[in-house]
Amino acid sequence: MQFIPIAEDSGLILQIGAWVLREACTQSRAWVEEGSPLVPMAVNVSAVEFRNENFLHNLLETLTETGLDPRYLELEVTESVLMKNAERAASILQSLRGKGVRVAIDDFGTGYSSLSYLRKFPLDALKIDQSFVHQIAASSDGKTIVSAIISMGRSLNLRVVAEGVETAEHLSFLQDHKCDEAQGYYFSRPVPAEQFAILLRAERSDCPIQVAV
């Protein structure tokens, strides 16, 4: 919460973001070569990065240089990032989707959350903000908001991912409401790449819901 705003204000987020993207693509390609199950690598994109005029060119160049199949990269952007310049954002997303890159709306529910704007952008997924998931056990409002977002996503043929899943109660509610994927400490805390590769190869037969990474 402190680091990212400072990096954005100073402009360093452009170099940091480029490094993160390259490392993520390189690691994903390494897992592919090791024969690990193929899952998309999700990378967050800041507002400053997305607004940069070289964003699309640099991203596609990184994919080429690392050799990662674009289908295994998913970019996560917030609602506010897209709405700053909706026409340009739609054009960029269309280009990304044309290359096979997936696009997800991160922290969904904390911004515009409008069906009218969702229909304007070529998207693959909605990620329910963890603040709503945490309220599942605490209030009926939390349950209502989460179930509404899931219904909205499914009506638009978008994959719905719940962030911040920490308890069996969270997971059970999401399963009952047919949420597509879940991520959070219930499955694993952040781990080094070598340890994650072990998790990636492990069977999760006890969990019918997909686990997002």
pLDDT digits (tens, 9 = 90+) for 80-135: 888 888 889 999 999 999 999 999 999 887 766 567 777 888 999 999 999 999 99
Ranges of H-type helices in the chain = 3-10, 13-33, 47-51, 55-66, 79-84, 86-99, 115-118, 130-134, 140-155, 168-176, 193-201
Instruction: Determine the average pLDDT of the residues in 61-67.
Output: 97
Instruction: Give the predicted TM-score (pTM) of the model.
Output: 0.87
Q: CA-to-CA distance for 161 and 211, rounded, in angstroms? A: 9
Q: CA-to-CA distance for 30 and 197, rounded, in angstroms? A: 10
Task: Label residue 205 by pLDDT band (50, 70, 90).
Answer: very low
Domains and their CATH numbers in the chain: 3-211 (3.20.20.450)
CB count within 10 Å of CB 167 equals 15
Q: Which helix (H) or strand (E) holds 44?
A: strand 41-44
Q: Which amino acid is at 89?
A: A
